[in-house]
Amino acid sequence: MMILIMFYIFVGAPAILVRAVVAGELALLSLGYKGFNLSATSIWAISLLASLVVAPQLLLTLGGQLSFLLTFCLLFSRHLSFWQSNLLMGIVMFPLITHQQFTWHLLEIPINFLAIPLFEIIIVPSIFVGVWQIPFITSFVNQLIHLFASIIDTVASLPLNCVVGKLAWPFVLLLLILAMLSFTNKKTTARIARMTWLITLILGIIWVRFPLHGEVSLFDIGQGDAILVRLPFNQNVTLIDTGGKVNFGEENWQRLKYSRPKGETVIINYLHSRGISKVNQLVLTHQDQDHIGDAYIILQKMAVDRVIIPKGMRQQPAFAQKIKPYLKQRTQVIETTDNDTQQNMPLKVLYPFESGHGKNEDCIALYGEFGGKRFLTSGDLDKAGEEKICQKYPNLKLDILKFGHHGSKTSTSSEAIKQWCPQYGLVSAGRNNRYHHPHQETLDLAQQQKLIVYNTQINGMITYVPRI
């Protein structure tokens, strides 16, 4: 009992281990003292209460949910075989994992069948032996653990990851209850529960993947741009820019070795949560790092039908270095001006008018109408470009304007604002950014024109859901 407490302190006293420590101490007391006899369910309940005293929000974490739910299932699975027990664990984990991670690997359950016995029989004993720091044995244990982790990582990287989406809580709860009923001793109940579990899962996935409403969303990705335009039922998905971190004067030691780009942690995660596994159009407005820096991760992790870029950008070094190496065979690259019509795209290209070099003055400007609201975004286009749009499209009116260049004073022409008459202004900029975006001049202009301004620095991710 003392060793168990010492172990808990030695590993940093994490809240997730309170359950195991309390349950272990109570089980040892029950074994050591005949008068102290607690049932397995009582030990589980006490360990839950103790864990919530230490960490009241533990059950809001995936680790806490899995820890208590799986041990709860084990209390009632003693009549099951090893294979049935592991299958029960798999279908119980499924709704919780997909609710928070949005994907499910097809080999998840089969690998658990193999990995759990290996972990219990080989890995855990090896770790205890390796703790004694005997040179030859410790080296061997480290190599063994590294091999085990490498095998798991290799299997996880296989292209068998299915996008499920973020299942709604009613579906998650129903799936959990049906999963536990699927292995009851009553065969009729178990059979009905399994069939109902499958039907519930199918309905839950349909609910996520075919939403009644579309959306226009500005991602909160720091100093950069990334906008999602999604039509109802996910019938068309357009991603405008991808963001990307700009590193100024950072030494190698200052860069996090294992950090993941916002394109993966924010954009791809959100797309997966909405049941999206394919982007129909990836529009890269121009070649700046904070607009296309994370395009590579989108092209690697998602199926992309078309990459749309301003005419002339394909010949630039930025395209050759940041985009071309990551293009899949099925992905088309389309250079565009306002004279080109993009099929099956819910947005119209208003700019550029001619071939350029993929710079700020050549940015793609996109216009669309969603749920009765007219929307315009133009990357980092400057005032001169905005005024050219005004001259060519004198009757253009807007409801929502995504301010150019993160709200810089070099964009958002006062003449354009007066002509377009937008109601809302959106700013995508990083908190405490080195450029001090959005500039006060832009905010003052918005106030003069009575615009309601939303800013990712203050409001986080900004989403407009059009009415049907």
Could you tell me the CATH number of the domain that includes residue 453?
Answer: 3.60.15.10
Nearest-angstrom CA–CA distance, 145 and 387: 62
- pLDDT of the residue at 362: 92
At a CB cut-off of 8 Å and minimum separation 6, what does 244 contact?
Answer: 224, 261, 263, 289, 290, 291, 292, 293, 294, 295
- pLDDT of the residue at 166: 94
CA trace torsion 151, 154, 155, 160 (10° rounding): 180
- pLDDT of the residue at 98: 92
**Of 221, 240, 217, 279, nearest to 381 (Cα)?**
240
The interaxial angle of helices 18-32 and 40-54, nearest 10 deg, is: 140
Low-confidence ranges of the chain (pLDDT < 70): 131, 248-258, 468
**Of 100, 23, 102, 101, nearest to 59 (Cα)?**
100
Query: What is the tally of structural domains in the chain?
Result: 2
Residue 126 placed within a domain: no
Cβ density class 254-269: b for 16+ within 10 Å, e for less: eeeeeeebbbeebbbb
405: three-class secondary structure by DSSP: helix
Residue 14 placed within a domain: yes
CA trace torsion 140, 146, 151, 157 (10° rounding): -170
Residue 385 placed within a domain: yes
Residue ending a domain, choose from 61, 91, 108: 61
For CA atoms 399, 222, 312, 240, the dihedral sign is negative
Model's pTM, two decimal places? 0.87
Residue 67 placed within a domain: no
Residue 299 placed within a domain: yes
How far from each other are the two terminal CA atoms of the chain, in whole angstroms? 62
Residue ending a domain, choose from 61, 89, 112: 61
Residue ending a domain, choose from 31, 61, 91: 61
Q: How distant, in Å, are the alpha carbons of 19, 27, 159, 325 from that of 10?
A: 16, 21, 39, 47
Q: What range does the domain containing 330 cover?
A: 216-464
CA trace torsion 190, 193, 198, 201 (10° rounding): -140
DSSP string computed for 109-143: HHHHHHHHHHIIIIIHHHHHHHTT--HHHHHHHHH
Pairing of strands 348-351, 332-336: unpaired
Q: How distant, in Å, are the alpha carbons of 199, 403, 442, 444 from that of 439?
A: 53, 11, 6, 9
- pLDDT of the residue at 252: 62
- pLDDT of the residue at 389: 96
Residue 138 placed within a domain: no
Burial of 112 (0-12, 13-18, 19+ CB in 10 A): middle
At a CB cut-off of 8 Å and minimum separation 6, what does 325 contact?
Answer: 296
Nearest-angstrom CA–CA distance, 31 and 33: 6
* Chain centroid offset of residue 452 CA: 29
For CA atoms 368, 373, 377, 382, the dihedral sign is positive
- pLDDT of the residue at 115: 79
DSSP class of residue 382 equals: -
Any idea what the Cα angle at residue 125 is, between residues 123 and 129, rounded to 5°? 110
For CA atoms 346, 352, 354, 360, the dihedral sign is negative
DSSP class of residue 380 equals: T
Per the CB < 8 A criterion, the answer to whether 329 and 340 are in contact is no
At a CB cut-off of 8 Å and minimum separation 6, what does 389 contact?
Answer: 350, 351, 365, 378, 396, 416
Residue 333 placed within a domain: yes
CA trace torsion 233, 234, 240, 243 (10° rounding): 120
Residue 10 placed within a domain: yes
